[in-house]
Amino acid sequence: MTVVDASTLSLSRRAALIQAASLEVDFGADLLDVNLGYLDDLSADVAGGSVSWGLYNTIHRTVSLSLSRVLNWGNELVAPWMTLSDGEITARFPVGVFSLTTPQRTVGETPELYETTGYDRLYLLSREVGEDYSVASGVTYRQALLDVFADAGLSGAVIDGAAADNTLPVLREWPLVPKDQSDPDQTDTPVTWLRIVNDLLRAINFRSCWSDERGRFRCQAYLEPSSRGPSFVFDADDRFTTILGEYRTVSQDSWKVPNRWVFRWSNGGTGVEGDGIYTVDQSDVVGGDVLGRTLVWSSVVDYEAASQAKLVELGDRRVADDKRVSTVFDVTTGPFPMAGHADVFTYTDAAVGSRKVAATSWLIPLDGGDVSWQWERV
């Protein structure tokens, strides 16, 4: 049966494949260079493993693999993949590209297996710059980002969003900072390439940089999960198509949040409301705020921003995050190799109703075992 790249299939065909009553799962891996050039097929040398992802991790994807081949560990990348087959079609799903960092073998085994862990390509951006770095005023954020990737010796970046064409309002500098080995609580730490990229992205209200299933660096404008359409429907009540497992839990958490926010534009403006200051006041000392509090709970936040308008966007994003009451679902599903970055789904369950949820973590066994998820209600 011909194997097709899953990206060539429609979303509905991929969904049908994942929900097939009879499904065969296989896995393998390719060997790549640091800039995603193909080197070799590693499939015969991969004995098993898993890929995990966490939204709040600095480096989002991690991998655990059992390998029977010695690699050039510091200068080669491993790209595991899974195939799903329903008897009509076999589709191949890439699940990330990783730098393996801690190979460990048990002496005397035949064949020798290396138990390895690794991190996605953001790991290669987490290197220290080692010198002063700056971007001149008037340069577009898009060009500045492309220059940072190039200066870091890495390619494969995709920058989506019109705000990337905004220009830096002032010179932006990242000075060389040494490690102080005598101070375990050092707060000024050496600058990495990833830090520079994410500082630039935050100024235009983009997400932090992430590495996709094919290892490409992705830079995208931030959109509230509530404004994004779901990419898949998990329906616990449809016994013919559901891939949801029996294990499902729900918990809620309410945090003490501010009711007044003052956002300051750290690299521009004159320091007055509307030009360097943006205030959101939802306090009520007489009638009480939405939580019934009559005290003012203030939060003052500094943002580097491309403009006053971007300061407002960053402020609104922070207010929405602070006010969100977290409802967390821990669930398991069948094989789901199309899991991506910050996915939004519809979750339907007679026990909890129909909810839009956003993934915050997942773990995918390559052999087709149950996928573990954590979702937050949007």
Task: Give the domain range for residue 297.
Answer: 260-323
pTM here?
Answer: 0.88
Same domain, 236 and 365: yes
Reduced to 3 states (helix: H, G, I; strand: E, B; else coil), residue 37 is: coil
Closest by CA to 285, choosing from 298, 274, 299, 272, is 298
344 and 242 belong to one structural domain: yes
Residues 112 and 132 in one domain: no
Which of 220, 241, 268 delimits the end of a domain?
Answer: 220
Same domain, 69 and 164: no
Say if residue 74 is in the same domain as residue 18: yes
| Domain harbouring 207, CATH code | 3.55.50
10 and 59, same structural domain? yes
- The per-residue pLDDT for 179 is 73
Q: Is the pLDDT of residue 37 over 90?
A: yes
Q: Which candidate, 121, 119, 113, places its Cα nearest to that of 52?
A: 119
Residue 183, number of CB atoms within 10 A of its CB: 9
Q: How far apart, in Å, do the first and last CA atoms of the chain sit?
A: 40
Same domain assignment for residues 41 and 162: no
Last residue of a domain, one of 64, 99, 120: 120
**Stretch 69-75: mean pLDDT:** 86
Query: Strands (DSSP E) along 151-258, which ranges?
Result: 157-160, 172-174, 210-211, 217-220, 233-235, 244-253
Given pLDDT bands bounded at 50, 70 and 90, which one contains residue 378?
Answer: confident
How many domains, in total, are found in the chain? 4
SS3 content of the chain, % helix, strand, coil (to 5): 15, 40, 45
Q: Looking at the predicted structure, is the pLDDT value of residue 105 above 80?
A: no
Q: Say yes or no: 371 and 248 in one domain.
A: yes
Q: What integer best gives the mean pLDDT of the chain?
A: 91
The whole-number average pLDDT for the span 160-187 is 84
Verify that 84 and 104 share a domain, yes or no: yes
322 close to 299: Cβ distance less than 8 angstroms: yes
Half-sphere exposure in the Cβ direction for 28 (13 Å, CA): 11
Q: Do 26 and 50 have their domain in common? A: yes
pLDDT tens by residue, 249-295? 776 665 568 999 999 999 999 999 999 999 999 999 999 998 788 99
> Are 101 and 132 contained in the same domain?
no
Q: What angle do CA 178, 180, 182 make, to 5 degrees?
A: 165
Q: Are residues 53 and 146 in the same domain?
A: no
